[in-house]
Amino acid sequence: MEQPSATDVAVVGVTKRFGDVTAVHKVSLDVAHGEFLTLLGPSGCGKTTTLNIIAGFLRPDDGQILLGGQRVDHLPPYRRDTAMVFQQYALFPHMTVAENIAFGLQMRKAPKAEIVTRVQRALEIVRLPGLGDRRPSQLSGGQQQRVALARAIVVEPTVLLLDEPLSNLDLKLRENLRLEIKRVQRELGITAIYVTHDQGEALVMSDRIAVMNQGVVEQLGPPTEIYEEPRTAFVAEFIGTSNFLRGRLDGVEEETANIVLADGVQLRARRRPDGPTDGEVLVMVRPEHLALGGGNGTDGRANELRALVKEVVYLGSYIRFVAELATGDTVTVEEMNLPGAVRAGIGESVTLRVAPEHCLLLARPER
Amino acid sequence: MTVAAEHRRIRVAGYVSPTRAWLERSLLTILYRVALGLILTFIAAPIVVVFIASVNETQYLRFPPAGFSTRWWEAALTERWMGPTWLSLRLAAVTAVMSSILGTLAALGIYRGSFRGRDALLAALLSPLILPQIVTGAAMLQFFALIGLRDVLGFPALLLGHIVITLPYAIRTVMVSLHGLDRRLEWAAQDLGANPVQTFVRVTLPLIKNGVFAGAVFAFIVSFNDVPISLFLGRPGNIPIPIAILGHVESRFDPAVAAVAVVTIAIVLALIAIAERFARVSEFIYQQER
Ligand SMILES: Nc1ncnc2c1ncn2[C@@H]1O[C@H](COP(=O)(O)OP(=O)(O)O)[C@@H](O)[C@H]1O
Ligand SMILES: [Mg+2]
């Protein structure tokens, strides 16, 4: 991918309160031209509110919205060059599919002939040719979703806004459609802001992910960075599966730190320059980075933990062990199911190994 | 199974023979049908009687009817009766149009607005439903007299009065429609570039049109049937048909009036039949709120 140049959407320090609830707090985002940015977070974290502020349905209490470099805060939705795909599609029930798609073009006073060809093309892009004369009620959920997408992209907006567009569909359809949406977005080179609470969706589709929690963007970065370099315990927990070991800092260096767990075991972990410098901390380890069985560690650098196997779950391509450390923390270990892989049974005492670079030092969330 | 042994199962009832069960069931069914039949009879019988009276030969109705005659119908279809009928039709039609327009605007403003006194405004607009109409009528007459507008009595005053008493129906039916309207459809329209007027014309109105239409039909019927308001606000030469009938039967029963009554009933039934073809008005009668 070439380096994105122009910024299509800028959200600058936007805050929105509903009575006592701060739905969105000082959110700032830059979306480059052609970029696919996802707002990811649990229900109620302010994703929809952010999207509605960009579209102009809500006015922020503070902050600015820029579309294509122009301030649009004062503009009503119909003067903003955005197009939204709504959660429940919001197709006009009294119009046919073609009329739905033509609506935005009619409002833009496009010539009749052009409308016909562009509607036709939009239907082809979303792979629904020939369904233009149907009513939305005669379509399946997945088809309605495609019509909603066609209706939005046909006006070639500066930014396409999608609010959990797949959340009402079943799993199989969801997995198909997310690739479809991504394909359409890439083919048209359209800038998109996508809202979801589904981390799988976010990882697969996004160029960058903004992880939101309680109205705040906790981390903004590409999927690999979000998964591999979570900045907070919340991000680590929300994306993928994480193990957290509670401990206390015992000396930090530039990029590593020594941690003492509650039972006195020493651990070496990777530390980011802005990481914590002392006190109570968390060490985050992904299940796939924990290895079962101690002993012949290759370089002797690896951290070793004693644990008791509590549960073994056979998952075909890999096996999941749930084990309890002496500190009382429970960890999940995932081992590929390869020939010769170490096995352990419930109640067995095992050694877990993990390389220091896979132990990430995080601040303990105050609570 | 030790638990089951200690635990006696509680049964709904003892053994019931199939015959007895059948009897119980049919008795209920019969009772229900008899009650329904009686109610329908009380609704329909007067209409049938009026019709028979209108084609009966004699002045007074008796059973079995004696002879067939069209002379009452001939009397009914003269200017004397058709004049007021025509006035009522015009009045009801204009009332229906005005009431549904004003009612739609009022419902939109009240349903969507968040201004102070919103509930009070709604209560005031709906109050003609609760207030005794005879009082409303008398008050209106006094009001017109007081502000020196005796001259408007007749059609203009009748129209104003009928709009006031039919507005609640229009407001209610439109509000029911608005309640069922997904707000996001209007958002979607605006998002695609429709300004508020375009949004209303292209999306909101088509989606609430059943409510608007039902309101107009109700307004028509209420206006067409109205007695208490018309009683005060009409004036000679401008008398709606219900008042004309009332004035006539005060003194004696005239089978011509029966024929006139049949005409008015036919008008209302025809209107409902036509309306039902265009929009499911009956939904607003049988299931007001979902
Ligand atoms: N119109 C509203 N009135 C009051 N509170 C609202 C309104 N819309 C959203 N909220 C609150 O703001 C917070 C964020 O909501 P929302 O943006 O819908 O979250 P998300 O889309 O991430 O699930 C929630 O606590 C929600 O209850
Ligand atoms: Mg939401």
- Tens digit of each residue's pLDDT (9 = 90 or more) over A229-265: 999 999 999 998 899 999 898 888 888 888 988 888 8
DSSP assignment string, A131-193: -TTS-GGGS-HHHHHHHHHHHHHTT--SEEEEESTTTTS-HHHHHHHHHHHHHHHHHHT--EE
pLDDT of residue A161: 96
pLDDT of residue B290: 39
Q: Which ligand is nearest to the CA of A49?
A: 1
pLDDT at A185 > cutoff 90: yes
The answer to whether A72 and A65 are in contact (CB under 8 A) is: yes
* pLDDT (average), residues A280-297: 81
User: Does B189 reach chain A within 8 Å, measured CB to CB?
Assistant: yes
Q: Is residue A115 part of a domain?
A: yes
Q: Is residue A1 part of a domain?
A: no
Task: Profile chain B (290 residues) by mean pLDDT over runs of 10 residues.
Answer: 59 76 87 92 88 82 75 86 92 96 95 88 92 91 86 87 95 93 93 94 94 92 93 88 88 84 90 81 62
Q: Which ligand is nearest to the CA of A212?
A: 1
Residues of B in contact with A104 (CB under 8 A): 192-193
Q: Is residue A2 part of a domain?
A: no
* pLDDT (average), residues A100-126: 94
Does A321 share its domain with A196? no
pLDDT of residue B152: 77
Does A225 share its domain with A269? no
User: Does A323 reach chain B within 8 Å, measured CB to CB?
Assistant: no
Given the cut 0.95, state whether the ipTM is greater than it: no
pLDDT at A74 > cutoff 80: yes
Query: How many other C-beta atoms can be found within 10 angstroms of the C-beta atom of residue A168?
Result: 15
> Which of B184, B190, B192 should we substitute to test contact with A (largest number of A Cβ atoms within 10 Å)?
B192
- Residues B242 and B245: their CA atoms lie apart, in Å, by 5
User: Does A68 reach chain B within 8 Å, measured CB to CB?
Assistant: no
Lowest model confidence (mean pLDDT) among A19-28, A67-76, A352-361, B16-25:
B16-25
The answer to whether A257 and A268 are in contact (CB under 8 A) is: yes
* pLDDT (average), residues A329-343: 85
Q: A106 Cβ partners below 8 Å, 6+ apart?
A: A115
Does A218 share its domain with A279? no
Does A220 share its domain with A254? no
CA A111 from chain center: how many Å? 40
Q: Is residue A271 part of a domain?
A: yes
Q: Is residue A72 part of a domain?
A: yes
- Residues B214 and A51: their CA atoms lie apart, in Å, by 38
pLDDT of residue B279: 72
Confidence of residue A2 (pLDDT cuts 50, 70, 90): very low
pLDDT at A5 > cutoff 60: no
For ligand 1, is residue A21 a contact (CB within 6 Å)? Answer: yes
Domain that holds residue A339: 242-363
CA B146 from chain center: how many Å? 32
Q: Is residue A177 part of a domain?
A: yes
Distance A161 CA to ligand 2 centre (A): 12
* pLDDT (average), residues A290-317: 79
Does A328 share its domain with A288? yes
pLDDT of residue A105: 96
Does A78 share its domain with A53? yes
For ligand 1, is residue A39 a contact (CB within 6 Å)? Answer: no
- Tens digit of each residue's pLDDT (9 = 90 or more) over B95-149: 999 999 999 999 999 998 888 889 999 999 999 989 998 999 999 999 988 888 7
- Residues A38 and A112: their CA atoms lie apart, in Å, by 35
The CATH number that applies at residue A257 is 2.40.50.140
pLDDT of residue B289: 44
pLDDT at A293 > cutoff 90: no
Does A225 share its domain with A357? no
Q: Of A25, A48, A86, which is best to mutate to test ligand 1, by the most ligand atoms within 8 angstroms of its C-beta?
A: A48
Does A218 share its domain with A249? no
Instruction: List helix spans (H) across chain B.
Output: 2-6, 18-54, 71-76, 79-112, 118-126, 133-146, 155-179, 183-191, 196-199, 205-225, 228-233, 241-249, 255-278, 282-286
Q: Of A11, A15, A21, which is best to mutate to test ligand 1, by the most ligand atoms within 8 angstroms of its C-beta?
A: A21
Atom of ligand 1 nearest to the CA of A50: 17
Distance from CA of A212 to the nearest CA of B (A): 24
* Cβ–Cβ pairs < 8 A, chains A and B: 57
| Nearest in space to B165 (alpha carbons), one of B236, B120, B228, B211 | B228
Of A233, A250, A285, the position where a domain reaches its end is A233
Does A254 share its domain with A226? no
Distance B180 CA to ligand 2 centre (A): 21
CA B248 from chain center: how many Å? 25
The CATH number that applies at residue A64 is 3.40.50.300
In chain A, how many domains are there?
Answer: 2
| Helices B155-179 & B79-112 angle (0-180, nearest 10) | 40
Across chain A, mean pLDDT equals 90
Does A87 share its domain with A200? yes
Q: A82 and B191: CB-CB below 8 Å?
A: yes
More confident residue, B255 or A195: A195
Does A255 share its domain with A216? no
Of A233, A254, A282, the position where a domain reaches its end is A233
pLDDT at A4 > cutoff 60: no
- Residues A189 and B112: their CA atoms lie apart, in Å, by 39
Q: Is residue A169 part of a domain?
A: yes
Does A335 share its domain with A204? no
Of A197, A216, A233, the position where a domain reaches its end is A233
pLDDT at A366 > cutoff 80: no
User: Does B203 reach chain A within 8 Å, measured CB to CB?
Assistant: yes
CB interface of A with B, residues 113-172, below 8 Å: 151-152, 155
